[in-house]
Amino acid sequence: MTEPRRLRGHKATATCCIASRDKPGLVATSGEDGCICWFDMRCKDVKFVMDVSNEPISSLCFNSGNENIIYVSTGNEVKSFDVHMLADNSWKPLESYNYNKEEINQVTCNSRSSFLASADDGGEIKIIDIHQKRIFKTLRAGHTSICSSVQFIPWRPWEIVTGGLDSKFIIWDFSKGRSSKIVDFGLPDMRSGSNAGQCLNPAFVHSVKVPDVDMLDKIGKICVVARGDGVIDVINTESELTATKPKSSTKSRKGTQSKGSDGGVPDENGRKWLHLDYSLGGHTAAMSCVTFSLFGEKGKFLVSGGNDKLVKVWDCSRCLDSWQTGDTNELLHLNINLTKKVNWLCTTPAESDNLVVCDTTKLVKVYSVS
């Protein structure tokens, strides 16, 4: 890889980045300085800086139906802003939601722009009704530790997935306010197949990602889980929910006997997960973020970054083929060596300058992946 492009604008560590789907090349980043920086990849300098909080910003997301609206989590609060309505240096929020009791780790908007979900340090997830501007549901009694990541499932309008530092991956029905499926990666049988070179960190779930609607034809109804032991699990959510329906038995909650090098081993219900670990060229330390590519053929690549100062670009098509065939050759498309640990990353729909990385510095790095 050539040297990355460096985006300057933050006065402290960059924490999160999101890329516009409607305007290729438009990127927003957040930082511990409480600011949001807007960049146009066609220009050299930052477009403008929004100073929105005295506290660090932990997460950003666009309103799915109107990218002029942006949601920002800072402390235990979610704020929304209309970028087109902002006057110079007057960053007054459209709305402010103070429903979480603990610090928020991620905020996300569903594909219909009707709900927000915010996951916090207390293990709770608040579902906020955007149109009614009020709390819709509180999801609790699932995570016993920090809830680090949350995503809506676009093909299941009343369901979300979450991951936490209790090593649990949970599928929720938020209309009923209860979990549909719990997978505990901390159980001994979930770790028994780990490769000898795999790091021995706990299998905390740091990031979960679900494909967008326009990626489903390409990669199917899956969810990707990035873990603290450096393993990526690719889970067929429909199989998991189908397996749970007959009865919620102890066995069905144990997940799978995953083993590193065979690309996914059937469990007692005959289901398969894809298990991308060190033996397949995976991470050697905890992962912080995982996402699908927006450039080229949407969803063709899976991009992960972690504490091993590496960004890895996986060929999603090959990975999913290996699910059926067991052939695990050349799943890793590209390895990018960094000098710092990764905080967050995102991709843009552009042909170049299409991978944006926030590391533990105030400079945002931009790479071109083909």
For 14, 23, 337, 350, the CA distances from 353, given in Å and listed in that order, are 18, 14, 17, 7
Is residue 90 scored above 90 in pLDDT?
A: no
In a 3-state reduction of DSSP, which class is residue 91? coil
Tens digit of each residue's pLDDT (9 = 90 or more) over 193-222: 455 555 578 899 999 999 999 999 889 999
Tens digit of each residue's pLDDT (9 = 90 or more) over 136-157: 999 999 999 999 999 999 999 9
What band does 88 get if pLDDT is binned at 50, 70 and 90? low
Is residue 264 scored above 70 in pLDDT?
A: no
Query: Encoding tokens for residue 25?
Result: 């090349």
Asked if 63 contacts 97 with a C-beta cutoff of 8 angstroms, the reply is no
Task: Indicate the burial class of 16 (C-beta count within 10 angstroms; 0-12, 13-18, 19 or more).
Answer: buried
What is this structure's pTM? 0.89
What band does 257 get if pLDDT is binned at 50, 70 and 90? very low
Percent of the chain at pLDDT > 70 equals: 88
Is residue 266 scored above 70 in pLDDT?
A: no
Domains and CATH numbers, the chain: 5-187+200-243+267-367 (2.130.10.10)
- In three-state form (DSSP H/G/I as H, E/B as E, the rest C), the secondary structure along 270-283 is CCCCEEECHHHCCC
pLDDT at 272 (0 to 100):
62
